Amino acid sequence: MGVTSTLLPLTRPLGSLQVLSMYNSMDMINTSAVLSSIALVFIAAVITKVAWGRITARPASRNTTPHPPAISGSSIIPLLHTLLTKGLRAMLQEQYTKFGSVFTISFFGMKTTFLVGPEVSAHFYQGPESEISHGNILEFTVPMFGKDVAYGVDIVIRTEQNRFYVDALKPAKLRCHVAPMLQEVEKYFAKWGQQGLVDLKQELEQLFMLISARCLLGKEVREKMFDEVCSAFHELTENSLQLTSLLFPYAPTPMTRRRDRARARLSSIFAEIVRSRKSSNRVEEDVLQNLMDSKYRDGRSTTEAEVTGLIMAILFAGKHTSTTTSTWTGARLLSHTECLEAALEEQQQIIKKHGDNIDYDTLLEMSFLHCCIKEVMRMHPPASIFLRKVHKNFTVQTREGYEYEVPRGHTIASPLVINHNIPHIYKDPDVYNPHRFSHGREEDRVGGKFTYNAFSGGRHACPGEAYAYMQVKVIWSHLLRNFELKLVSSFPETDWLKVAPEPRGKVEVSYKRRMLPRSMLKN
């Protein structure tokens, strides 16, 4: 969902390169200009903030264990050249090949240590907050969602608030969302003609917002205030994710003022809904209601400010990542005939068994479609890199047999663009092959813990994983059953300047409506 899907700001670390990917309004002329901004603006500005924010001078460690090999000084020049000409993955792959599983990039004295592979990732995902944390990387989310939630509160309260999400998105409560999701999907695609051409990315973005309004925000928003909420939410995100707003979230700029007005409007809308439900004793089956009913361990109920902040955060987290994952799923399936046919065959078998009806248990039976989505997130993870800040020295043992000490003060990075493409774990990693996750093969499990981290892991595992898969399955099971689809445009390149790296430009798909879903059985 991310809620994946994706829960980007709350349950997954927002990697610095992903922070850069949010700059979707930068007016870049070409790819070189974009990558120049990545190399110059991002590395100089964002890492500076991460490295020096809230840090004081510390004595050097007396441990004799060596630090990781470092790239610094003039060695940075060819590294940046590779970034500019070949891209992020190629740059990191070169360093991984040269130095092994652990290496440090030092830029103007600011050090980022990359941890490649599951053997060196355990502390990154499981280390306690006192030893490893997000630092101040996500400070820009405080004026977005308010000082009462997420990174506006301490770790104790933030952990409890994360528990509210876990409870709201657990399987027992997800079942009630399938029917409204299906209704939104069926209603939306009923507007398509008998045949036509669409931009799949745009269509899915609109559909996911409708689903979010229904299942996350509630009937009040979906039925009466949808356009107003969408407009205010767009204003909030657009102005929060500009470069200056990210680096200087409290500066009195036109963008931060527009952000604050949008947040105030959304807060007012959700607060009014909360008050209305409480005064009328009305109870709904949506995530907003779950957050309203949540209680802290000391028995205190959530406040209006907390509920509104939490619901805005989950909407922000889920919308981008779910849309992107669903779009990539379509692009990959429609580019691989064998996989598309296997997905259709699975739907045929499910229709034979259950008829046209879909419920939560039916979605769980869509194992190949599940693998198709999982493979998409291996190849196109919602975040390219996760970051943490080191507060206490720790050591790692590499697959190559070396031991290194990572010092406090370093920023450490888990690069999914490399970790999800390690050949000794994933056979032919550049090939889209959902079967690698099928029962009996399961390359991610064979590779060990923290081999697959599309939903992060350990202490920061995303509680929206099941919800994310459910959304995408509902949409694509409907599309597969009801339409013949073909990818008309070429397979898209990745646009790294988005919140979740997404297909660049339009994803044009032609469709032709099937007479009835059951007609598939006669094919």
The rounded percent of the chain whose pLDDT value lies above 70 is 85
**Sheet hosting strand 195-199, strand order edge to edge:** 195-199, 508-513, 483-487
> Which segment of 25-34, 366-375, 383-392 scores lowest on mean pLDDT?
25-34
d(C-alpha 364, C-alpha 492), whole Å: 30
Highest mean pLDDT among 10-14, 35-39, 267-271: 267-271
pLDDT tens for each residue of 282-334? 999 999 999 999 999 999 999 999 999 999 999 988 777 889 999 999 999 99
Strands 403-406 and 494-495: unpaired
Q: What pLDDT is attached to residue 79?
A: 87
Tokens of 196: 């036509």
Residue 82: predicted pLDDT: 87
94-100 own/partner pairs: CB under 8 Å, 24+ apart? 95/71, 96/418, 99/68, 99/69, 99/71, 100/69, 100/398, 100/399, 100/400, 100/402
Q: What is the CATH number of domain 65-520?
A: 1.10.630.10
- What pLDDT score was predicted for residue 197? 98
Q: Per-residue confidence at 500, pLDDT binned at 50, 70, 90? A: low
Predicted pLDDT at 523: 45
Q: Is the pLDDT of residue 256 over 70?
A: yes
Judge whether residue 228 has pLDDT over 60.
yes
How much is the average pLDDT of 203-217? 94
484 pLDDT higher than 90? yes
Looking at residue 447, its pLDDT comes to 83
Q: What is the pLDDT of residue 171?
A: 87
State yes or no: pLDDT of 16 exceeds 60.
Answer: no
How far is Cα 150 from Cα 74, in angstroms, rounded to an integer?
40
> 359-385 as b/e, with b when 16 or more CB fall inside 10 Å?
ebebbeebebbbbbbbbbbbbbbbbbb
Q: State the pLDDT at residue 368.
A: 98
Lowest-pLDDT range, 40-44, 133-137, 437-441, 471-475?
Answer: 40-44
pLDDT at 481 over 60: yes
Average pLDDT on 241-258 reads 90
pLDDT at 466: 93
Contact between residue 113 and residue 228 where contact means Cβ atoms under 8 Å apart? no
Angstrom CA distances, 67 to 28, 113, 116, 117, 467, stand at: 38, 10, 15, 18, 41
- Residue pLDDT, tens place only, 109-131: 789 999 999 999 999 999 999 99
Q: What is the band of 502 on the pLDDT scale with cuts at 50, 70, 90?
A: confident
Average confidence (pLDDT) over 347-351: 96
Q: Quick count: other Cβ atoms within 10 Å of Cβ 302?
A: 23
pLDDT category of residue 75 using cuts at 50, 70 and 90: confident
Give the CA radius of gyration of the chain. 23
Spatial contact of 5 and 326, defined as CB atoms under 8 Å apart: no
Averaged confidence pLDDT in the chain? 86
pLDDT reading at 91 higher than 80:
yes
176 is in an annotated binding site: no
Phi, psi of 241 (to 5 degrees): -105, 20
